[in-house]
A = this chain, B = another copy of it.
């Protein structure tokens, strides 16, 4: 069973990390500063966390306020609302900068990536997945929809636009995107695929 590190230092470190993350961002976060701020030796940080990435992931996930996802039964409406939440989160400089900034590390370090997915990604995805799966059961989405791919397209579009392509994005974009994903870009055909 995992030893629940001496509670004192653990908490101090998490708090220091959160504070520094929002003050200076991920790139300028240093383990040295975390330790100093937490009133803790560097080795104590290194003893429990293998890298600043792990530190940041734990700090983010321990302080997160359980994001709420609407679940009214109307897929379109629920998805739009979820996407709007995502856009808000990615464009508010706090989180919106941290996660892309961590990507360089995620790409290099598979263990870190797994920690990221387990602690930050999957919990949030599960919420949206629920909405999608119920919609499938209700016949509002086609039975053969690949839920995972659908989620990737949904979140990926927002993420990519925000971070990579840099095109302007507003909460209004949420409608467009959801329409695209639900109705497709091709004109409706009389009886399915030709």
A interface residue numbers (CB < 8 A to B): 25-27, 75, 97, 100-108, 113-114, 117, 121, 125, 139-142, 145-146, 148-153, 155-161, 163-167, 173, 176-177, 180-189, 192-193
Per assembly, the copies of the chain total 4
In the A-B complex, the 9 residue pairs with the closest CB atoms? A156-B160, A184-B184, A156-B156, A153-B157, A183-B184, A156-B157, A152-B161, A101-B104, A182-B186
B165 and A117: CB pair below 8 A? yes
The A interface is mostly helix, strand or loop, or mixed, namely helix
Minimum CB distance partner of A140 in chain B: B186
Complex contacts, A183 vs chain B, CB 8 Å: 184, 186, 193
Q: How many angstroms between the C-alpha atoms of A156 and B163 in the bound complex?
A: 10
In the assembled complex, the Cα of A90 lies from the Cα of B103 at a distance in Å of 14
